[in-house]
């Protein structure tokens, strides 16, 4: 059972964008004038989109790629410096904490995350809101730690779970809860069941059209979340 983080469990968009803009300017020497696409994308994908939108040449000799690691480190540092702002200016999505707690009570279910954030940034966000206590982050899928896109991260997370727990997790019994059409696509690529939540930028109709197996308005009814997970895993 894998959760997306941003706009599924919590919303720290304002804080993240401020840290992102500072890190981008520091590493590239250019201000972040045009915001990149973020919803449903991984940090490397977002970074290269930001380069193109803000006049940094995407050279074929690998020079642009060499900026990724220093940017990732700088972004993590800037976001960590705003640790207290995450809870002051950010918020949990309705029912998120209650749903994560409820799912933790389902026998045989292992919870982790599949996110476009790097491991340090993801852990920072989750810990700020106390969500990490019910999640096995050792088996999660994080951007920057292995090959993206998210579909590949999903498969890798499932393999880690099987190795750690000595159990076989069938593809369709692997569930990904997220809020964007790109996440629905990632679930399909990874062979997982997709439960989409219309808590982000996409509507319920858009999520259904993207092929989600089930769509929730939000996570405010933990019993409904548990029922969907239980039926998908049976």
For residue range 159-179, what is the model confidence (pLDDT) as tens digits? 999 999 998 888 889 999 999
pLDDT tier, 145 (very low <50, low <70, confident <90, very high otherwise): very low
Quick check: 138 pLDDT over 70?
yes
Q: How far apart are CA 176 and CA 211, in angstroms?
A: 13
Element of type H or E holding 209: helix 204-209
% the chain with pLDDT above 70? 94
Quick check: 62 pLDDT over 80?
no
pLDDT at residue 45 in the model? 86
pLDDT tier, 149 (very low <50, low <70, confident <90, very high otherwise): confident
Q: How far apart are CA 125 and CA 132, in angstroms?
A: 9
pLDDT at residue 85 in the model? 97
Quick check: 65 pLDDT over 90?
no
3-state secondary structure of 167: coil
pLDDT tier, 60 (very low <50, low <70, confident <90, very high otherwise): low
Structure tokens at 69: 């690691």
Classify burial at 174, counting beta carbons within 10 Å of its beta carbon; exposed 0-12, middle 13-18, buried 19 or more.
buried
pLDDT at residue 7 in the model? 96
Per residue in 20-55, pLDDT tens?
Answer: 999 999 999 999 999 888 888 888 888 988 998 998
pLDDT at residue 148 in the model? 67
% the chain with pLDDT above 90? 76
Q: What average pLDDT does range 100-128 have in this prediction? A: 95
pLDDT at residue 147 in the model? 44
Q: What is the pTM of this model?
A: 0.93
Q: What average pLDDT does range 130-147 have in this prediction? A: 86
Q: Which fold has domain 2-11+91-233?
A: Rossmann fold (3.40.50)
Question: Mean pLDDT for the chain?
Answer: 92
Q: What average pLDDT does range 86-111 have in this prediction? A: 96
| 8 A C-beta contact, residue 125 and residue 12 | yes
Paired sense of beta strands 193-197 and 175-178, if any: parallel
Q: What are the CA-CA distances from residue 50 to residues 32, 147, 181 (Å)? A: 8, 19, 21
Per residue in 171-211, pLDDT tens?
Answer: 889 999 999 999 999 999 999 999 999 999 999 999 999 99
pLDDT at residue 56 in the model? 82
3-state secondary structure of 109: coil
Task: Please tell me which residue, 129 or 59, carries the higher pLDDT value.
Answer: 129
Q: What average pLDDT does range 57-77 have in this prediction? A: 80
């Amino acid at each position: 059972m894998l959760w997306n983080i941003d706009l599924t469990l919590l919303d720290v968009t304002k804080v993240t964008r401020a840290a992102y803009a500072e890190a981008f300017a520091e590493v590239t020497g250019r201000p972040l004038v045009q915001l990149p696409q973020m919803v449903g994308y991984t940090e490397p994908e977002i970074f290269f989109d930001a380069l193109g939108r803000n006049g940094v040449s995407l050279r074929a000799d690998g020079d642009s790629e060499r900026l990724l690691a220093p940017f990732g480190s700088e972004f993590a540092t800037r976001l960590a410096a705003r640790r207290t702002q995450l809870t002051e200016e950010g918020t949990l999505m309705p029912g998120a904490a209650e749903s994560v707690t409820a799912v933790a009570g389902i026998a045989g279910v292992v919870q982790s995350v599949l996110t476009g954030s790097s491991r340090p940034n993801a852990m920072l966000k989750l810990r700020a809101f106390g969500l990490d206590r019910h999640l096995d982050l050792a088996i999660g899928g994080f951007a920057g730690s292995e090959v993206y896109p998210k579909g590949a991260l999903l498969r890798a997370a499932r393999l880690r779970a099987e190795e750690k727990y000595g159990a076989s997790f069938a593809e369709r019994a692997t569930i990904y809860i997220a809020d964007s059409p790109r996440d629905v696509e990632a679930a399909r690529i990874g062979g997982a069941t997709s439960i989409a939540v219309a808590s982000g930028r996409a509507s319920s109709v858009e999520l259904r059209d993207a092929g989600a197996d089930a769509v929730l308005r939000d996570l405010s009814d933990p019993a409904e979340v548990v029922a969907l997970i239980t039926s998908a895993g049976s």
